[in-house]
């Protein structure tokens, strides 16, 4: 055997093992990566642990609690979605929404299947299963003209077991040592500015931003939660209390956290389940068409004016007018994703 022949045999033997793997080469099968593990690149021996929306490796069995809602009308999230509130018994206020799929079910066209698939929208569930992912969408090299999202990696939650449960509200005790957003009625108790709801009370620290005019109104605070020496009484600090209801903020300087929305070139602001106008919104400094659905804070003065419904603008000639809130002298800044309590809408863009 010549030296060149020997080199050729060694080369093809190594290539076969590299492609098939030691065990799979014997069975003629491609190697399968471990659950939740994907190769980093064809040329690399390193592997990357793929994590999903839950922050856990894919295919990790997990118990979730939350509310089932109807998914977006367009795209791959149609039908039952879970708005997650608890992950393995730990409360979370991150805005996590997962598309639910029954394990081993036939995956039809999710964009056309609008049924509840055995779930009841608006009901609370405990669900056991695992998060998975796959590539969906149109190949960028495809010559077929279709109205669909470009190719991307998409997450789903495969349901193994489920049961209905009673809905529950978060309590400060579930977030001790962590930051959280809570709302309740503003009270002054034993000289301490407080937020009261149910059987708990939050003492707001520091007192600097407390306004006595808040008392009796719905107020929210965000900060780190700690226990006091009294049962059912907690502290939140550092916290800036804010009125929640727009009717209580008319004529005031406001800082509203929500998201921008647009349709046919018309822009508005979505806040806690309510649409409101922003003066010359699309003319604000550094405004971009990419701000659609972008979380942001709008600062300005809250006013009220006779305006058409946002759903009628550009679609209805001479639309009827009614009172709408509008932010005057506005400015804006982008925000990280909103917390779940800040997002009160269903999965579909609300009107």
Lowest mean pLDDT of 36-45, 115-124, 228-237, 264-273, name the range: 36-45
- C-alpha 72/C-alpha 162 separation (Å) is 22
Which tens digit of pLDDT belongs to each residue from 260-306?
999 888 999 999 989 999 999 999 999 999 999 999 999 999 999 99
CATH of domain 249-342: 2.40.50
The label of the residue with tokens 């009294």 reads 230
Average pLDDT over residues 245-251: 96
CATH number of 61-165: 2.40.50
Write down the pLDDT at residue 18: 41
Q: What is the pLDDT of residues 72-88, one digit of tens each?
A: 766 677 789 999 999 99
Measured CA to CA, the distance from residue 77 to residue 110 in angstroms comes to 7
Phi, psi of 181 (to 5 degrees): -110, 125
Which two tokens mark 4?
Answer: 């060149």
Q: What is the pLDDT of residue 345?
A: 57
Look up the pTM and report it: 0.77
Residue 26: the pLDDT is 40
Query: Which of the two residues, 7 and 198, has the higher pLDDT score?
Result: 198
Mean pLDDT of 223-231: 96
Percent of residues, the chain, with pLDDT higher than 70 = 76
- Within a 13 Å sphere around the CA of 271, how many CA atoms are in the beta-carbon half? 23
Return the pLDDT at 50.
84
Output the DSSP codes for 108-127.
Answer: --TTT--S-TT--TT-EEEE
* Selection from 5-14, 92-101, 107-116, 145-154 with the highest mean pLDDT: 92-101
Phi, psi of 13 (to 5 degrees): -65, -45
Q: Give the C-alpha separation, 67 to 348, whole Å.
A: 15
Report pLDDT for 311. 81
Nearest-Å Rg of the Cα atoms of the chain is: 26
Which whole number is the average pLDDT over 9-31?
41
- Mean pLDDT, the chain, whole residue set: 82
How far, in Å, are 6, 85, 158, 326 from residue 114 at the CA level? 63, 24, 18, 35
pLDDT for 351 beyond 90: no
Would you say residue 213 has pLDDT above 90?
yes
Query: Tell me, what's the pLDDT at 344?
Result: 65
pLDDT exceeds 50 at position 23:
no
How distant, in Å, are the alpha carbons of 88, 117, 222, 318, 329 from that of 175?
A: 15, 34, 12, 50, 37
Helix (H) or strand (E) holding 129: strand 124-136
Residue with tokens 């020997």: 6
Pairwise pLDDT comparison (101 vs 252), residue with the higher score: 252
- pLDDT one-digit tens code per residue, 179-212: 999 999 999 999 999 999 989 999 999 988 899 9
Per-residue pLDDT, 25? 38
CA angle, corner 237, sides to 232 and 240, nearest 5? Answer: 110
**Residue 281 in 3-state DSSP?**
helix
In this structure, what token pair is assigned to residue 221? 């605070």
Rounded CA-CA distance 68/116 in Å is 9
Going by C-alpha positions, the residue among 160, 173, 167 that lies closest to residue 90 is 173
Residue 326: pLDDT above 90? yes
Q: Which CATH architecture has domain 172-243?
A: Beta Barrel (2.40)
Backbone angles phi, psi at 41, to 5 degrees: -170, 160
Indicate whether 11 pLDDT > 50: no
């Amino acid at each position: 055997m010549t030296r060149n022949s020997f080199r050729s045999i060694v080369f093809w033997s190594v290539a076969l093992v590299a492609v098939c793997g030691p065990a799979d080469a014997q069975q003629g099968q491609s190697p399968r990566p471990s659950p939740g593990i994907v190769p980093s690149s064809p040329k690399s021996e390193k592997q990357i642990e793929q994590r999903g929306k839950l922050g856990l490796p894919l295919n990790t069995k997990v118990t979730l609690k939350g509310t089932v809602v109807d998914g977006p009308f367009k795209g791959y999230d149609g039908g039952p979605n879970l708005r997650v509130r608890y992950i393995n018994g730990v409360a979370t206020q991150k805005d996590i929404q997962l598309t639910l799929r029954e394990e081993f079910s036939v995956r039809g066209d999710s964009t056309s299947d609008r049924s509840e698939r055995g779930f009841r929208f608006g009901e609370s569930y405990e669900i056991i299963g695992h998060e998975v992912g796959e590539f969906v969408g149109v190949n960028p090299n495809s010559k077929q003209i279709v109205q669909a999202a470009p190719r991307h990696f998409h997450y789903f939650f495969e349901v193994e077991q489920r049961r209905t449960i009673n809905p529950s509200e978060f309590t400060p005790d579930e977030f001790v040592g962590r930051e959280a957003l809570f709302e309740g009625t503003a009270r002054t108790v034993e000289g301490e500015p407080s937020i009261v709801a149910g059987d708990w009370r939050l003492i707001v620290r520091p007192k600097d931003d407390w306004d006595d005019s808040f008392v009796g109104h719905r107020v929210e605070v965000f900060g780190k939660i700690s226990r006091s020496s009294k049962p059912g009484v907690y502290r939140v600090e550092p916290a800036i209390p804010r009125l929640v209801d727009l009717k209580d903020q008319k004529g005031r300087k406001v800082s509203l956290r929500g998201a921008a929305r647009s349709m046919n070139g018309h822009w508005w602001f979505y806040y806690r389940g309510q649409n409101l106008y922003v003066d010359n919104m699309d003319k604000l400094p550094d405004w971009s068409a990419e701000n659609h659905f972008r979380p942001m804070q709008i600062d300005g003065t809250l006013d009220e004016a006779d305006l058409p419904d946002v759903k009628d603008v550009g679609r209805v000639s001479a639309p009827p007018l009614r009172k709408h809130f509008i932010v005057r002298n506005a400015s804006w800044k982008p925000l990280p994703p909103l917390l779940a309590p800040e997002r009160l809408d269903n999965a579909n863009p609300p009107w």
